[in-house]
A = this chain, B = another copy of it.
Amino acid sequence: MSKINYGNYFENFSIGQKIVHPLPRTVSEGDVSLYIAFTGSRFSLHSSDIVAREIGYKKRPIDDILMFHLTFGKSVQDISLNAIANLGYAEISFPNPVFVGDTVSMTSTVIGLKENSNGKSGVVYVHSIGVNQDGNEVLNFKRWVMVHKKDHSVKSEINIVPTFEASTPIVDKINIPTIGAIDTDASGGEYFFEDYVAGERLNHPEGITIDKSDHTLATKLYQNNAKVHFNDHMMKSTPMGQRLMYGGIVISMARAISFNGLQNAQWVYAINSGNHCNPTYAGDTIYAYTEILETIDHKREDIGLLRLRTIAVKNQNPTEISSPKGEDGKYLPNIVLDLDYTVVIPKKSTKK
Which positions in A face B, CB cutoff 8 Å?
A: 3-6, 20, 22-26, 28-34, 36-42, 44, 47-51, 60, 77, 101, 103, 105, 133, 185-189, 191, 195-196, 202-209, 211-214, 216-221, 223, 225, 227, 230-234, 243, 260-263, 283, 285, 287, 315-316
Contact = CB atoms under 8 A, between A and B. Distances in A.
Copies of this chain present in the complex amount to 3
A331 to B, nearest CB: 19
B103 A5 contact: no
Given A5-B188, A22-B186, A26-B49, A231 B217 contact: no
Contact of A30 (B24, B33, B42): B33
A315 B234 CA distance: 8
A267 to B, nearest CB: 17
A5 B208 CA distance: 17
A188 B23 CA distance: 7
Nearest to A39: B220
Contacts of A207: 227, 230-231, 233-234
Nearest to A101: B49
Nearest to A242: B209
A206 B230 contact: yes
A103 B233 contact: no
Contacts of A220: 36-40, 208
Contacts of A24: 44, 47-48, 50-51, 186
A42 B225 contact: yes
A29 B221 CA distance: 13
Given A4-B202, A230-B206, A221 B33 contact: yes
